[in-house]
Homo-oligomer: A and B are copies of this chain.
């Protein structure tokens, strides 16, 4: 049989055609290669030697076709949510609030359920994520929030460094800003090429791994993740600073306010906010309008003064204005560029033709960014503004232009709102990077998982924890966070654009030289900024980023190694299968008809020494022994015994008794019952149950390592959750104690009360 026609799904983790920035889940199920298929066929033949498939198929007591999930095409988004209801199996749509088995009885349980549902929203069991498209005028504000909001802290960071050089330092602000503007242009044009090359979305990780190799890809991922964590931290810090500039009395509570906002983001993202609606377009537009208005008014005022810059207040220069100072200021100011890659990440969200629309939007964004940035710097120069700790630079400019009236308040509010939106963008992208890493088995598989509300809960939680830690550790001040931020962002930029260079070099389709030139320029400049930021600000915090990247590399490589080891262990491998003779021993139980009891042979140990490994691939290789720990002759115990016996495998009942008298009594009960199954009583002092059980099973296993021992444990299940504390959790404790032993299977037979 050939499998050619489905070969395009057969991605074995290689690099072929992995243009998937999209959430394509099939790649996590790698296909089988030729050798495995051959072995599979062979194993199947062994199965067929002693059983007839038709018997198995006919024996099925129920029709297994119970309904299907609808196809993705049938899914339409509704309202604010980006999630749609999908009928569960059986065709019946879910009633509102109905979640099978999730509505606990009892008032307290219901109260807790309602609290969870209010905070998190209804649990979505049968839903899917609708693919959404955005018009350019909506995509622009949503996706450029990160980049444009950087204007709130980028110039300030630059000025904070220059101010150390006194008036002479401040005089350099315009040339440095011009350089940064040029950098924005170069990188923007560079990313236009990326959009063309990766129409399904090309983040730094994908581009770098595809083109530069695994380790550069991981380094890019590390840079990205640092980028996102710090986007959250810096945006929140900056937003809180905007608020405390307007309301100085809140300044002492800055850190708790920031943590509260992060918590809000957490809850909202766990709910699965859909970030594509018009609601999210408003803050960015408001911010753009506000800053433009600010700049316009300021220019008009300055025109009235004949464009003479207002003298800045007298400053003491604490450092000399040299190359070091200038480059540090440059690196800090370059953080105004963070967020440029948002559009190239989200190309599939545009309306067709996706890449053209994305390029256009990117161009608009770059234009706006340069305009806002240049305008801000110009106003700073003209108004003689100096960065301070009480008030942000933007706030001071707003004061100059608008006074202290409602316009000023609106500006601050718009700044805070756009920064919140920028942080939210990080909440979208960070889990995606983790998803991609997990798909390539560099991160734990749990990051592939969609949570209750079909959001990447694990990634969201991890981002929240990391951002909160960073925010609190640096005490919520933007200035301390900027060095880390610059390093992470420009690392990702450099590797992404370098990867594009390699891409064009390999591909050489039309216009490749032009594209290569642009990408190369961007890569070079980004590398300069990266090195600058890393070296000059090393002691100020950049060392943390370097350390984090190194640690990240080690961890991901180890994770990948582990998964590869597991994958190897899971491969079917050829081994000699010794089969017992065709006349198999008759099993005990109902098949031994009441008349003649056939003498069963005791199974002999396999000749080969492979008794410890768990590589049985056919049913006839497995030799069973069921052990039923039974405490009392009650209904739960009877049920477990009946279950064990109904499997027609050898059964041993095991009773752990605290003292001899009780053991004797139990034996009498057993005899009264009819002594149907072999019973073993272990007398163990002082009511320790798990330890003697584990010892016994270990001893059994040591005696007969070829047997697969199934421990069948009755478990009492209470309706109300709080009563669970009242019953001993023997099954989990047994499981935990027996975990290291191979070939011990634990079955839990529930008894509902």
Contacts and interface: CB of A to CB of B under 8 A. Distances in A.
A588 B660 CA distance: 44
B61 A625 contact: yes
Contacts of A31: 665
B737 A742 contact: no
A64 B652 contact: yes
Interface string A235-264: 000000000000000000000000000000
Interface in A361-403: none
A748 B732 CA distance: 12
A46 to B, nearest CB: 9
Given A40-B633, A665-B10, A450 B66 contact: no
A444 B725 contact: yes
A63 B652 CA distance: 10
A677 B89 contact: no
A704 B62 contact: yes
Nearest to A72: B685
Contacts of A100: 694-695, 698
Interface in A641-678: 642-643, 645-652, 657-662, 664-665, 668-669, 671-678
Contact of A726 (B445, B633, B678, B717): B445
A56 B651 contact: yes
A645 B631 contact: no
Given A60-B652, A590-B584, A677-B56, A615 B639 contact: yes
A650 B60 contact: yes
Interface in A481-526: none
Contacts of A676: 44, 47-48, 51, 53, 56
A89 B708 contact: no
B678 A633 contact: no
B726 A61 contact: no
B69 A658 contact: no
Contacts of A665: 3, 6, 9-10, 31
A32 B6 CA distance: 64
Contacts of A696: 66, 89
Contacts of A1: 668, 671-672
B678 A623 contact: no
Contact of A569 (B43, B590, B753): B753
Contacts of A43: 638, 673
Nearest to A706: B61
Nearest to A48: B674
Contact of A597 (B10, B52, B717): B52
Given A559-B726, A753-B566, A600 B677 contact: no
A306 interface: no
A672 B66 contact: no
A610 interface: no
Interface stretch (A123-131, A199-207, A290-298, A307-315): A123-131
Interface stretch (A20-28, A146-154, A223-231): A20-28
B47 A725 contact: no
A67 interface: yes
Contact of A661 (B9, B36, B56, B703): B9
A6 B68 contact: no
Given A60-B652, A659-B26, A728-B449, A47 B600 contact: no
A570 B30 CA distance: 48
A562 B619 contact: no
B569 A635 contact: yes
A617 B638 contact: yes
Please provide the 3 A-B residue pairs with the shortest distance between their CB atoms, ordered closest to farther: A44-B674, A55-B588, A44-B673
Given A36-B633, A622-B646, 17 more contacts: A6-B668, A9-B665, A28-B658, A41-B674, A56-B588, A61-B704, A62-B625, A64-B678, A89-B692, A89-B696, A445-B727, A449-B688, A450-B688, A619-B646, A648-B648, A746-B747, A746-B748
Contact of A623 (B61, B635, B650): B61
A606 interface: no
Interface residues of A, number: 184
Interface string A552-572: 000000010011011001111
Contacts of A597: 52, 54-55
Contacts of A657: 29
Contacts of A30: 632
14 contacts: A28-B658, A31-B665, A36-B633, A45-B674, A52-B592, A52-B594, A61-B603, A65-B680, A66-B699, A69-B684, A89-B692, A449-B687, A614-B752, A717-B739
B450 A686 contact: yes
Interface in A518-559: 559
B599 A621 contact: no
Interface string A708-752: 101000001111000101111000000101011111111111111
Nearest to A654: B64
B588 A59 contact: yes
Contact of A647 (B48, B588, B624): B624
B635 A572 contact: yes
A699 B703 CA distance: 42
Nearest to A613: B752
A88 interface: yes
Nearest to A588: B55
B699 A25 contact: no
Interface in A77-116: 86, 88-90, 100-101
A587 interface: yes
Contact of A566 (B652, B703, B716): B716
A600 B57 CA distance: 11
